[in-house]
Structure 1
Amino acid sequence: MASRSVITRLMSGALQHSACPCHGAHHAAAHPGVLGQLRSLATPVNTVQKEYAFEVAASNLRFGDGVTREVGFDLSNMKARKVGVFTDVNVAKLEPMKMALASLESQPGLSFEVINLPASEPTEQTWADAITWSRGHDFSHFLAVGGGSVIDTAKAANLFTVYKDAQLLDFVNAPVGKALPITQALRPLIAVPTTAGTGSETTGAAIFDMTSRSFKTGIANRALKPVLGLVDTQNTASCPTAVHISAGLDVLFHSLESYTAIPYTSRALPANPILRPAYQGSNPVADVFSLWALQTTVKYLPRVAKNRDDEEARRHMLLAASFAGIGFGNAGVHLCHGMSYPISGLNKKGPNYQHPGYLNPHPIIPHGISVAITGPAVFQFTAPSSPDRHRQVLAIFNSTTPYDSSISRIPDSEIGAHLYDTIARFLDGLGVPRGLKALGYTASDIDMLVEGTLPQRRVLDLAPGIGDVVDEDGRLHLTKMMQNSMEY
């Protein structure tokens, strides 16, 4: 018969591991000892009233072969009078856009105008031009056919068409912009994504490259969400770049960051609880979508990298992008995305890196690459905040479960180091440049990259060890992570 001390020890261990690793809120407060071993943090926020609820918001989705053909019927059923159609110069030549136009033309009395945007990531000038064009028409509805850049630009045009006298920075995230609330109803927007990446068809986020400040920023508000996302699996066959490695990396880190964001219960309660932010922190519903997207991406993205014609893998990635969008659209992203904005934005003034396979005539670090490049260092840093969640992530990358002895026997204090090596190996297998040095950055650029990250409070405030700690702006941690991302 076991002694009382043995039984007590076993019961204590069972209590520590009884929470589901997918949904347990084992963040910083659950493992204070581990945090103390690995780094010194400021006093946790305990003096403000904490959030006690979360909301789930996402666009309606229709998923299947040929659903783009239905967009004309959808707009007619919505009583559309005049539609502003957004695409880019490349997608304009491809089957998804041809299919959408044919569907619009099949509806008697349905008027529409088309704008072909540049085939590049949007800048403040791109947005300004699209807003001016949109304000010049009396659109009752909007349609976006393209990647995240097209959909985000359509969101911005919709917003500033309704707010005719507003300036661009009025709604841009603070502290870069004023982050004014959106109190007027926007026009209905339907999104037809042609890439498996941003998940913009499900979210209220819109991002652009603020060239004047050499980083990206944007607007995040649920009012921007499309009313319907038509996820057409035929697009994976008709669009050569529908599933690009960079876009797939965005899916990967959307799901990773949203699952490991600080929990919604660690965030301060808004002054008006009815106006909860779009990005709320990790929560049980967002976790379901984020984990499914993560598992799917880890399984199928390497298959796409080996064979771009793998139709099964491409279709799964298209759905994973939307699921990750639902996950991060409610939970939010954090460090990889926040650090990516200056990495890509400063490229034009610094390294002038041109990623292979991109036809863009200007220097470009694709969004997914700029997000992934800090991944190993970021999750080594965040692991102590929630060892159980990071153990779950490690198990997914190793195609097993957290209860497999190869995973369960790893001490909490070593999970971060294992994740660093595992994520670095995964990225290397996809051909991702091996660190900032491979993009042309040097140690002398680190301070500048950190300065470009610090204004990204929308996402930094969701970062474990930064957003949930009093008076922690993250400068020292960001510097260390940038240093650890130089090469691996």
Structure 2
Amino acid sequence: MAVSTIRYGAGVTKEVGMDLQNMGAKNVCLMTDKNLSHLPPVQTVMDSLVKNGINFKVYDHVRVEPTDTSFMEAIEFAKKGAFDAFLAVGGGSTIDTCKAANLYSSSPDSDFLDYVNAPIGKGKPVTVPLKPLIAVPTTSGTGSETTGVAIFDYEHLKVKTGIASRAIKPTLGLVDPLHTLHMPGRVVANSGFDVLCHALESYTALPYHMRSPCPSSPITRPAYQGSNPISDIWAVHALRIVAKYLKRYSRSLTSEEE
């Protein structure tokens, strides 16, 4: 079982500069989107980087619901920057884009479809070393800060696919509940529905011991292996939280709109 490294707490975003300093980062790629680039979460991150003497460049052209084109634009920026660490501030789209930028800038000679899931791509295992990646989620639905998956729309075939490998999982996720204060009410509610859907999908997935055949090598084992006793515990816990709070929040949101 691969466990993600998460630090949770109100205001924990302010520590990101120290984290990158401890990693020895000298030239950081900060990825976000146009809307977030003007909001407090990104400003808090930049203040921390400046305070700790971290050089960085901002890429704020991340597309909500990424495509292969938007991925490749971010990858090109990363290749030119010669960065030694990556920092994603945003929702799942931003974090996924940053994962792809880290991967392909670390493997510059690879074709884009080399690492994309089969049958769309070749689904090659990742064997190159990647740079450290810190994810600062500003929504609460995707959990992208914990996964080795980057999802995008492949425009040519009009399908949604992705890249899946433990190698692209963020080095650290900083989960700061204060960021929810800067989300529109409907985005907060939709994030709750995202949690509901992911918890249901996890709990009802095919159990890990029913998948076959066994991979010929551990490196080809899929990032998602099916439901298991540990994921069941957390899926049920997430469902209970949603049942308790989502309806209450949605009711208060409706009252405000009225």
**Alpha-carbon deviation of 1:240?**
2.7
Q: State the TM-score, normalizing by the size of structure 1.
A: 0.50
Q: Which residue number in structure 2 is paired with residue 214 of structure 1?
A: 158
Q: Which residue number in structure 2 is paired with residue 63 of structure 1?
A: 8
User: Within 1, Cα distance between the matches of 2:120 and 2:174?
Assistant: 32
Query: Alpha carbon RMSD of aligned pairs, Å?
Result: 1.8
Q: Which amino acid aligns with 1:202?
A: T
**Alpha-carbon deviation of 1:247?**
2.4
Q: Which residue number in structure 2 is paired with residue 301 of structure 1?
A: 246
Q: Which amino acid aligns with 2:28?
A: V
**Alpha-carbon deviation of 1:201?**
0.5
Q: Which amino acid aligns with 2:138?
A: T
Contact persistence 2:39–2:182 (CA under 8 A): yes
Q: Structure 2 matches for 1:28-427, cutoff 5 A? A: 56-108=1-53, 110-240=54-184, 243-268=187-212, 269-273=214-218, 275-308=220-253
User: Within 1, Cα distance between the matches of 2:176 and 2:186?
Assistant: 11
Residue aligned with 1:181, SS: coil
**Alpha-carbon deviation of 1:265?**
0.9
User: Within 1, Cα distance between the matches of 2:152 and 2:88?
Assistant: 16
Q: Which residue number in structure 2 is paired with residue 339 of structure 1?
A: none
Return closer, same or farther for 1:226/1:200 CA change in 2, 3 Å cut-off.
Answer: same
User: Within 1, Cα distance between the matches of 2:143 and 2:63?
Assistant: 18
Deviations 1:442-471 (A, max 9, x none): xxxxxxxxxxxxxxxxxxxxxxxxxxxxxx
Return closer, same or farther for 1:274/1:122 CA change in 2, 3 Å cut-off.
Answer: closer
Deviations 1:4-29 (A, max 9, x none): xxxxxxxxxxxxxxxxxxxxxxxxxx
**Alpha-carbon deviation of 1:117?**
1.9
Q: Which amino acid aligns with 1:293?
A: A
User: Within 1, Cα distance between the matches of 2:8 and 2:179?
Assistant: 11
Return closer, same or farther for 1:162/1:118 CA change in 2, 3 Å cut-off.
Answer: closer
Contact persistence 1:72–1:104 (CA under 8 A): yes
Deviations 1:363-383 (A, max 9, x none): xxxxxxxxxxxxxxxxxxxxx
Residue aligned with 2:123, SS: coil
**Alpha-carbon deviation of 1:239?**
2.9
Return closer, same or farther for 1:57/1:169 CA change in 2, 3 Å cut-off.
Answer: same
Q: Which amino acid aligns with 1:189?
A: L
Residue aligned with 1:84, SS: strand
Contact persistence 1:90–1:119 (CA under 8 A): no
Return closer, same or farther for 1:304/1:119 CA change in 2, 3 Å cut-off.
Answer: farther
Contiguous gaps of at least 5 residues in structure 1: 1-55, 310-488
User: Within 1, Cα distance between the matches of 2:103 and 2:62?
Assistant: 20
User: Within 2, Cα distance between the matches of 1:270 and 1:119?
Assistant: 34
Which structure has the bigger radius of gyration? 1
Residue aligned with 1:145, SS: strand
Specify which structure has the higher proportion of strand. 2
Count of residue pairs brought into register by the alignment: 254
Q: Which amino acid aligns with 1:238?
A: H
Return closer, same or farther for 1:140/1:169 CA change in 2, 3 Å cut-off.
Answer: same
Deviations 1:216-235 (A, max 9, x none): 11011111111111110111
**Alpha-carbon deviation of 1:75?**
0.3
Contact persistence 2:89–2:136 (CA under 8 A): yes
Identity in percent: 51
Contact persistence 1:203–1:226 (CA under 8 A): yes
Q: State the TM-score, normalizing by the size of structure 2.
A: 0.93
**Alpha-carbon deviation of 1:241?**
5.4
Contact persistence 1:236–1:242 (CA under 8 A): no
Q: Which residue number in structure 2 is paired with residue 374 of structure 1?
A: none
**Alpha-carbon deviation of 1:58?**
3.1
Return closer, same or farther for 1:118/1:141 CA change in 2, 3 Å cut-off.
Answer: closer
